[in-house]
Amino acid sequence: MVSPILSREIRTRARIGRLWAAPDFRAGSRASVLVVVLWITAGLTALVLYFAASMGLELRASANRAADVAAGQAIEGAARYVGWALAQFATNGMMTTNSQFVCQALPIGESRVWILGRNPAAAESGLNQLVFNLQDESGKLNLNRANSNALSMLPGMSTELAAAIVDWRSTNGTLELGYSSLGYEAKRSPFETVDELRWVQGITLDHLFGDDRNQNGILDPDERSLTGSLFSTPGLLDTTTVFSREPNFHADGTLLTNANTRAQIQGLLESSFGTGRSREILTRLGFTQGGGPGGGGGGGGAAATPNFPSLLRFYLTSGLSQDDFERIAPELCVTTNTYSYGRVNLNTANATVLTALFVGAGLAQEAAEGAASTLVRYREQNTTSLNSIAWMVAALGRDHPAVTTLAGRDLLTTRSFQYGADLVAVGPLGRGYRRVKFIFDISDGVPKILYRQDLSRLGWALGDRVREEIAQQIDR
């Protein structure tokens, strides 16, 4: 018989054995719940991280969109600023300079705007760097006025392409170039924009852009030179225009003095130089009583009326000094027309445009190239002596073929009334980018926008230096 104490011990050990042997279902349930909770927590954490990242990206996208809108508004503000600057400084056809108003990093709100310009002496100086200023449309060949000889001298052009351009604008064009196979016909009327050249058969993007694909005036590292040089070769977009127009009246509406009308020119000369000297100048000009131009003064005859085709011919004939001619030049014209179209500004045209113009006027190519280079160098060295067409004579000499040839055509000017403003805006914190080109006209006295084109699609145009400056400002 087992003692009570032993019996209790046996029962106790048996109970302990059952505890070890039998599973505790309540503990297993608690472990499962813990695992499920951990999985749910991990899932929620992943969702939180996902939505946080998504909101971060959306916040950045919203900031970029806001910066893009800010850049767009900065462009509109800059256009108003340019209009103000033209009204203040581009008076009487005088070309504005980038020292008269801000052309770089112009602050508008939290954005910055650059006015991207051109260096007309880039080829002569060999410089490949950005320039910031307004562009003179009169420094280019007018597509509706230049003849085929002039157009054929532009980079990448040929006589065939030049003829096609003239045929496109001509109301009585005769060339059969197969436009019908392209789904349209030749326009047979003047160009309205330079971009319209793309419709002329044979004209390609290479002709339009040259090697300057983003149209910023320099050869960027990712652009390949067409000529092997270190600077950009411009295309038709940079060398031609349809907007060059010069008024033959003052801002108040009064007409300029017609150099071919005796009464008008006599009044101007007398008020400028006095009666005695005025008579001498009139005689040299050929305004005589009776006889032909420059002849003796036979009494009772009708007054001879010379015909000066250009102010350059008037200057060469008058015997005036350069300084004296500059006193009266802003008052003179040689036509009764309200406007003169297509004149090229001798002060702003590059050597390529001047060469083309001279060849179009009848000068041999070699002589035209030499004259153009000489004129560009002269004006770079004599920036304060470019107030009238007379400086061309000082630079080349009275008997130079370019002078005598151009004297017979009204093709040159030293005044500007249409300006291109290539506005590039960067939004707050270097985000947002817009680029719009405007053409302003001040020929009626008040700046007006004739044309605008969004060029943002051409990509970054401000070069590496400006990009680095923006990055440094953000870091600070």
Per-residue DSSP letters for 369-402?
A: HHHHHHHHHHHHH-TTS-SSTHHHHHHH-TT-HH
The confidence score (pLDDT) of residue 9 equals 62
* Spatial distance between the Cα atoms of 97 and 75, rounded to a whole number of angstroms: 20
Residue among 354, 384, 349, 385 at smallest CA distance from 371: 354
The confidence score (pLDDT) of residue 289 equals 61
Is 380 in contact with 348 (CB distance < 8 Å)?
A: no
Per-residue pLDDT band for 123 (boundaries 50, 70, 90) equals low
Could you tell me the CA-to-CA distances from 190 to 149, 171, 187 in Å, in that order? 18, 8, 8
Mean pLDDT of 195-219: 93
Instruction: Give rounded-to-5 percent helix, strand, coil for the chain.
Output: 45, 10, 40
Residue 254 DSSP code: P
Per-residue pLDDT band for 292 (boundaries 50, 70, 90) equals very low
289 φ, ψ to 5°?
Answer: -85, 110
Boundaries of every domain in the chain: 10-248+337-476, 257-336
- Judged against a pLDDT cut of 50, whether residue 301 lies above it is answered with no
The confidence score (pLDDT) of residue 125 equals 64
Is 361 in contact with 406 (CB distance < 8 Å)?
A: yes
Length of the chain: 476
Residue 357 DSSP code: H
**Out of 141-155, 180-194, 315-329, 342-356, which region has the weakest mean confidence (pLDDT)?**
180-194
Instruction: Name the residue type at position 269.
Output: L
Q: Give the DSSP letter string of 48-79.
A: HHHHHHHHHHHHHHHHHHHHHHHHHHHHHHHH
Instruction: Name the residue type at position 176.
Output: E
More confident residue, 356 or 298: 356
Beta bridge partner(s), residue 116? 132, 422
Sorted by sequence, the CB contacts under 8 Å of residue 110 that are 6+ apart come out as 70, 427, 428, 429
Which pTM does this prediction carry? 0.85
The confidence score (pLDDT) of residue 295 equals 40
* Spatial distance between the Cα atoms of 441 and 454, rounded to a whole number of angstroms: 19
Per-residue pLDDT band for 290 (boundaries 50, 70, 90) equals very low
The helix (H) or strand (E) run that includes residue 426 is strand 418-426
**At CA 192, angle to CA 188 and CA 194, rounded to 5?**
105
- Judged against a pLDDT cut of 70, whether residue 7 lies above it is answered with no
The confidence score (pLDDT) of residue 22 equals 53
* Spatial distance between the Cα atoms of 167 and 285, rounded to a whole number of angstroms: 39
The confidence score (pLDDT) of residue 355 equals 97
**Out of 144-153, 159-168, 230-239, 447-456, which region has the weakest mean confidence (pLDDT)?**
230-239
* Spatial distance between the Cα atoms of 256 and 146, rounded to a whole number of angstroms: 25
CB atoms near residue 34 (< 10 Å)? 10
- Rounded to the nearest integer, the mean pLDDT of the chain is 88
Residue among 240, 241, 258 at smallest CA distance from 249: 258
Place of tokens 């003849």: 147
Instruction: Name the residue type at position 342.
Output: G
